[in-house]
Amino acid sequence: MASQMFCPHCLHSQLTPFANNNPVADFSCSQCKEQFQLKSQLPNFGRKINDGAYGVMIKSIHQNMRPNFFFLQYTVDYYVKNLFLVPSFFFTPEVIEKRKPLAESAKRAGWIGCNVLLEKIPPEGRIPIIQDGNILQRKIVEEKWHKIEFIKKSPLIERSWTIDILNVIHQLKKKDFTLQDIYQYEKALAMLHPNNFHVKDKIRQQLQILRDKNLLQFKGKGKYVLK
């Protein structure tokens, strides 16, 4: 990664590794200062991925100190098969699952780890870099990043809403949808955001934001198209 990977944010040609055992990040970009963590494994990445300490993860999210996350799948011959990036601003507390404390008999008794719930990150937050051994053009990777970078500028609660609405849109499994389609998820969204008592207003607001940021096309009369 240090010698071959470019920065997806600014296309700087190389990443700089941190010292071993850094509790949060593995690499940084000397040009734009973005930080990255790497998770690599042989099998396919499933619905959830084991990660480090739960407390460290949640603290980094609330303090906006979460690095971007590379997920790398390699072959038995150590060739890179798949590599994708989840930008830091797609990490919210809802994406992190708290694991049970380690047993008293364990070497680190009481330690609490976490799982990253990939299934709760919409496709816009999973930027492909290598797919089935094929390397995507760097400019395409950068464009995908910058198209959704507006989420980074929002407070954590607003980021959660945007991500949740994107997830709902993809759950519809169709590009053309209506406002009424999204309203069907009102109860589920209310459970995710119990302190918001105007869920339908929030849905309309988020759809307008996604339209303004060119992720949706508004066709009038409550009809939308996912771009």
> Would you list the DSSP string of 170-219?
HHTT-SEEEHHHHHTTHHHHHHH-TT-S-HHHHHHHHHHHHHHTTSEEEE
pLDDT of residue 107: 86
Tokens of 50: 């084991």
pTM of the model: 0.91
Type and span of the H or E element at 87: none
Domain segments of the chain as ranges: 16-150, 156-226
Q: What is the pLDDT of residue 174?
A: 96
Instruction: Of 40, 48, 47, give the one whose Cα is nearest residue 71.
Output: 40
> What's the pLDDT at 106?
87
* Per-residue pLDDT, 23: 65
Q: Which fold has domain 16-150?
A: PvuII Endonuclease; Chain A (3.40.210)
Helix (H, G, I), strand (E, B) or coil at 91: coil
Nearest to 70 by CA among 153, 111, 114, 130: 130
pLDDT at 160: 96
* pLDDT at residue 3, as a whole number: 87
Per-residue pLDDT tens listing for the chain (227 residues) = 888 999 999 999 999 999 876 667 899 999 999 999 999 999 999 999 998 899 989 999 999 988 999 999 999 999 999 999 999 999 999 999 999 999 988 888 999 999 999 999 999 999 999 999 999 999 999 999 999 999 999 999 999 999 999 999 999 999 999 999 999 999 999 999 999 999 999 999 999 999 999 999 999 999 999 99
pLDDT at 155: 94
CATH class (in words) of the domain with range 156-226: mainly alpha
Instruction: Check if the beta carbon of residue 93 is closer than 8 Å to that of residue 61.
Output: yes
